[in-house]
């Protein structure tokens, strides 16, 4: 249920409404615009209290959110959400940011070398996996905290915030300690305990769509995070599983416009996982920018043939540099920038 206050509502009046919501056993979620404040009263049977709030003088009107996902919907927050990562990096604003790096953190030399070249090419966020959810239990599983320390040190040296994936509830404090963005991978999209755990921590969350997840299910997973009080969620389309086998997955560009219509959250695209083929990554990255991506995730490795994971989809540094120059032209054509 959405409670819209009248223009110019005072703090005391806002607090009065908030207190009433809490007394009824619900958690209020506040969305402040330039002139109007909206309060989300989310929970089972919340709509039965509609008359109580409509009778309050400070309340302009009360409406029931029809979508199953409440806080993620445009009904709750009409304006696009802009997520501040650092002082100069905002996801969802005019600039399209690129998160780039190796699939897995392998050693200090590779990460530092990549950070230097990626920064020079225009990437603004450094990514790398310290914990790797692999299909086979016999493949490289990641360096763990040692890898996070390497990634953080490289990020600090080259002034790039970092993003890495969390796999379990127990790992959440560790990722929160080291990372600027905490990633939920495709295989954990419906790990609800993990979603609630990252919702309780304060770092922005990059939520990746599952390979067989519908848009509605995707937004409901985001709702788990938002419902815990963390509103800084980015929705990442990374390809879905279809009958097509000429690429690793099918990158669902349709999802960009659908998500933009249904939700206020920033949309990120990952053409590396979406195609799984190095030759196609740059082309699809350009399509992602044209479609309206707020950020991109690109995997890069200096020696893909020796990479511990996802070598076939990793760009070489010079290929990444060329792609960034091409992306800048497309971004400019649609009134944005890289």
Q: What pLDDT is recorded for position 138? A: 67
Whose tokens are 């995730």? That residue is 297
Residues in Cβ contact with 265 at an 8 Å cutoff, skipping those fewer than 6 apart: 72, 81, 92, 222, 233, 234, 235, 259
pLDDT of residue 8: 85
pLDDT in tens, 285-323: 999 999 999 999 999 999 999 999 899 999 999 999 999
CATH 3.30.70.1140, domain 2-63, yes or no: yes
Count the helix, strand and coil residues of the chain and give each as a percent rounded to the nearest 5. Answer: 40, 20, 40
Cα 80 to Cα 107: distance, rounded to the nearest angstrom: 38
Ranges of residues in the chain whose predicted pLDDT is under 50: none
Distance in angstroms (rounded) separating the CA atoms of residues 202 and 185? 18
Q: How far apart are CA 248 and CA 246, in angstroms?
A: 7
pTM comes to 0.92
**Residue 39 DSSP SS3:** strand
Q: Where are the domains of the chain?
A: 2-63, 83-333
Q: Are 37 and 11 in contact (CB under 8 A)?
A: no
CA atoms within 13 A on the CB side of 191: 18
Which fold does the domain 83-333 belong to in CATH?
A: TIM Barrel (3.20.20)
- Count of CA atoms in the C-beta half-sphere (13 A) of 135: 2
Task: Return the pLDDT at 336.
Answer: 97
Q: How does pLDDT run across 20-50, given as a tens digit for each residue?
A: 999 999 989 998 877 789 999 988 888 899 9
Print burial letters for 283-307: b (CB count within 10 Å at least 16), e (below 16). ebbbbbbebbbbbbbbbbbbebeeb
């Amino acid at each position: 249920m959405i409670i819209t206050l009248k223009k110019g509502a005072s703090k005391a009046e806002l607090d009065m409404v908030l207190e009433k919501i809490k007394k009824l056993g619900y958690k209020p979620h506040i969305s402040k615009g330039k002139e109007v404040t909206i309060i989300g009263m989310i929970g089972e049977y919340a709509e039965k209290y509609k008359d109580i709030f409509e009778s309050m003088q400070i309340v302009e009107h009360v409406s029931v959110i029809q979508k199953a996902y409440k806080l993620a919907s445009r009904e709750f927050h009409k304006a696009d959400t802009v997520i501040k990562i650092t002082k100069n990096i905002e996801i969802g604003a005019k600039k399209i940011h690129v998160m780039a790096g190796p699939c897995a953190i392998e050693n200090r030399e590779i990460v530092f070398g990549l950070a230097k070249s990626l920064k020079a090419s225009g990437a603004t966020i450094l990514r790398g996996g310290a914990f790797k959810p692999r299909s086979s239990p016999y493949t490289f599983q990641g360096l763990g905290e040692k890898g996070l320390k390497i990634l953080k040190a490289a990020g600090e040296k080259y002034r790039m915030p970092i993003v890495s994936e969390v796999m379990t509830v127990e790992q959440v404090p560790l990722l929160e300690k080291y990372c600027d963005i905490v990633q939920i991978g495709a295989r954990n999209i419906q790990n609800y305990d993990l979603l609630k755990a990252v919702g309780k921590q304060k770092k922005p969350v990059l939520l990746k769509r599952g390979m067989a997840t519908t848009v509605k299910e995707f937004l409901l997973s985001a709702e788990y995070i938002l419902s815990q009080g963390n509103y800084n969620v980015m929705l990442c389309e990374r390809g879905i599983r279809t009958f097509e086998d000429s690429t690793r997955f099918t990158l669902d560009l349709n999802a960009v416009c659908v998500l933009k219509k249904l939700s206020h959250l920033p949309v990120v695209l990952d053409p590396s996982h979406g195609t799984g083929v190095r030759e196609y990554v740059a082309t699809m990255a350009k399509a992602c920018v044209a479609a309206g991506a707020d950020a991109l995730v690109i995997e890069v490795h200096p020696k893909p043939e020796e990479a511990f994971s996802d070598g076939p989809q990793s760009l070489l540094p010079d290929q990444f540099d060329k792609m960034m120059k091409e992306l800048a032209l497309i971004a400019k054509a649609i009134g944005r920038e890289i």
